Amino acid sequence: MIATQTVVRKDGRDFTIDGFCDPKFAAVREAFETNFRTEEEIGSCASVVVDGKTVVDLWGGWQDQACTKPWQRDTIVCMMSVAKGVSAITFNVLLDRGLVELDAPIARYWPEFAQAGKEKIPVRYALDHRAGLAVCSEKLPPGSIFDWNVIVNSLARQKPLWEPGTQSGYHIHNQGFILGEIIRRVTGKTLGNFFREEIARPLGLDYQIGGLSPADQDRCAEVIPAIGGTLFASTSEAPKSMLAQAWNEWPEADRATVLNSRQWKITEIPSGNGHGNARAVAKLFGVVARGGELDGVRIMSEAGVRQMITEQHCLPEVMMGRPYHQALGLILNTPTVVWMGPNPKAFGHHGIGGSLGMGDLEAKLGFSYGMNKWHARHDNGPRARRLIEAMYKCL
């Protein structure tokens, strides 16, 4: 690994690029720098892990929109729905250990869930977005997204929005609440705490779902969201749509204020508020891509990994009408929405704005990209694509 520092100058401002890169993967560093030269990049990080070894670990730019705080090696950022990928891996650890059965009814582990026709909904449907609970149909107070009990109790009372199993609908927030409540009932730990104790600490991952300490909050990059072209646009463009209803439980404040608030950082929202860096997410997916083990730490069996990345369906989901190659909580390579390189069997999860964590079993590869300035589009965008293209050319 070679440590280098370069400066990209754009619009009269300097963007320092730092980190390490194996000479074989020099094209990835060039792509990372190109993102600063040609895209809207303000601050970001990227990492590549091959067969358990980190071959690229880059960071650069600024933590804040005003460009006053340089992005540091230990800067962390909210990667939004990349958290779904981390949460999926966490939940599949329970499946692999036999603590939860994939086709058992959710109500076996969460008895109150067996209301309003939900007594037979299997765990599988919570993982692959077919449970029929994409949004809360009950009107809840603004800010309820920060109250775990309010959300899960509402979901327990709710009637499915469609016959479970017949349709898919991206459970933007509710997937994490459902999976997290099952984990809490089975282990006595929240999803975030189970991940921290059973996965993050043993592997040394700088990634957390909720519960950020004051010191960790201080090293968070400012989230600079886009509204137009993203899921958030639904509240103004189609206010009566199911997609728009997904934001009903958010506080009555602008998105930037919410996403940078102390409350967002300390509350556990497993589908959306994981904070970390690309180094951690790439390593996690790299471990999975090696069959679930690294340096004597095994988080999952090879059979468990294979089960997790087995396609469940490719239904057009009802929230946005887009088909995903959907696995058990993870998304398989879906070029029109989440492009993950040339291997159709690559797996991972994107986050609104452009962040991504992914793995590739055939290449024993883990990759992640995280940034603070979102792009205004629904797919994972040109910045991640440029990095992924360069990465595969170097293999």
Domain total in the chain: 2
Do 285 and 380 lie in one domain? The reply is yes
Residue 200 lies in a domain: no
Whether 239 and 129 have beta carbons less than 8 Å apart is answered as: no
Mean pLDDT computed over every residue of the chain: 95
Residue 224 lies in a domain: yes
Whether 45 and 277 have beta carbons less than 8 Å apart is answered as: yes
Do 185 and 284 lie in one domain? The reply is no
Boundary of a domain, candidates 195, 229, 259: 195
**What secondary structure does DSSP assign to 86-114, as a single string?**
HHHHHHHHHHHTTSS-TTSBHHHH-GGG-
pLDDT of residue 236: 66
Do 300 and 348 lie in one domain? The reply is yes
Query: How do residues 18-75 score in pLDDT, each as one tens digit?
Result: 999 999 999 999 999 999 999 999 999 999 999 999 999 999 999 999 999 999 999 9
Residue 269 lies in a domain: yes
Boundary of a domain, candidates 195, 224, 246: 195
Residue ranges of the chain whose pLDDT lies below 50 = none
pLDDT of residue 235: 63
Do 321 and 231 lie in one domain? The reply is yes
Do 109 and 15 lie in one domain? The reply is no
Do 281 and 336 lie in one domain? The reply is yes
Nearest-5° angle of CA 21, CA 291, CA 351? Answer: 60
Classify each residue of 197-235 as buried b or exposed e, where b means 16 or more C-beta atoms within 10 Å of its C-beta: ebbbeebebbbbbbebeeebbebbbbbbbbbeebbbbbb
Do 48 and 191 lie in one domain? The reply is no
The boundaries of the domain holding residue 264 are 2-81+205-394
pLDDT of residue 227: 74
Residue 271 lies in a domain: yes
Do 279 and 367 lie in one domain? The reply is yes
Residue 186 lies in a domain: yes
Do 117 and 36 lie in one domain? The reply is no
CATH of the domain at 27: 3.40.710.10
pLDDT of residue 18: 97
Boundary of a domain, candidates 195, 213, 240: 195
Do 233 and 122 lie in one domain? The reply is no
Do 102 and 55 lie in one domain? The reply is no
Query: How do residues 64-95 score in pLDDT, each as one tens digit?
Result: 999 999 999 999 999 999 999 999 999 999 99
Do 308 and 166 lie in one domain? The reply is no
pTM (2 d.p.): 0.97
Residue 232 lies in a domain: yes
